[in-house]
A = this chain, B = another copy of it.
């Protein structure tokens, strides 16, 4: 029996994570005894499990303390100001991406409650120039405020864990593709947009060179990875508490070719191509492939290919598209 808190539960990954917890419980930790979902907008509980939902601004240290007073055994911290928005709004990015995470760690320390924390980090902690395949121990040179903020939190999570104030793991997720729903302010948003929007008959712009290679994972693999990180045995983190999550390295052209093959030329032709140097600079600074030796040895799973990712997205959204018709 395990008490689970999801911070950022109204986001796409948070919702899918809650759904999966409701269906299958926590791998290796048994059924969910209580689920607390928090986000800046009130989250919706998953079908099949009674969940407590709270609209919380984690910029408030007191609000974060109140969440910890609920005594979660496992915390998934997914709440963040995404990359594009953090670059535009410097103060907001630091307030939410660093100060609120730090408040969370402080609340755990002061409560004497060393919960398992899975912190959702990002490959944006790395910056150009990077090797073709980035090793697990590559140095951090973020070229965006978002990347710097995630790197700072990784250091905090590791140090608070070393001191025994929390039992934390930072998981650097690849860019999530295909992200359903409305576009968000992430600089990587177009990577989902160029697949999602044409599939529902809407044009989408590609702001970067089609030969750009990117490091992606499906929403399903991202959720599985978070759950796997939460269930890691204590000795798994002896080699370090920051894990490069597994992903696929694909070119944007490959993604468009898969869309053309699966959904047809008329759909793929809905993609326009107006370059955006700001987006291209941010995305171009991100690494294209990772070795992920640690994640492999710890048993993290990976997508089989862009075709499978695209077919899974189409299956996931079939209900929605039928509803639209």
Contacts and interface: CB of A to CB of B under 8 A. Distances in A.
Interface of A: 90, 109, 137-143, 145, 148, 151-152, 155-156, 158-159, 162-163, 240
Given A138-B139, A139-B139, A141-B240, A155 B159 contact: no
B152 A156 contact: yes
A15 to B, nearest CB: 31
A111 to B, nearest CB: 15
A137 B208 CA distance: 29
24 contacts: A90-B109, A90-B163, A137-B139, A138-B139, A139-B139, A139-B140, A140-B140, A140-B155, A141-B158, A141-B240, A142-B155, A142-B158, A142-B159, A143-B162, A145-B159, A145-B163, A148-B155, A148-B156, A148-B158, A148-B159, A152-B152, A152-B155, A152-B156, A155-B155
Most chain B beta-carbon neighbours within 10 Å: one of A90, A139, A143 = A139
A156 B137 CA distance: 21
A142 B140 CA distance: 13
Contacts of A163: 90, 145
Given A141-B240, A142-B155, A148-B156, 6 more contacts: A139-B140, A140-B140, A143-B162, A151-B155, A152-B156, A155-B155
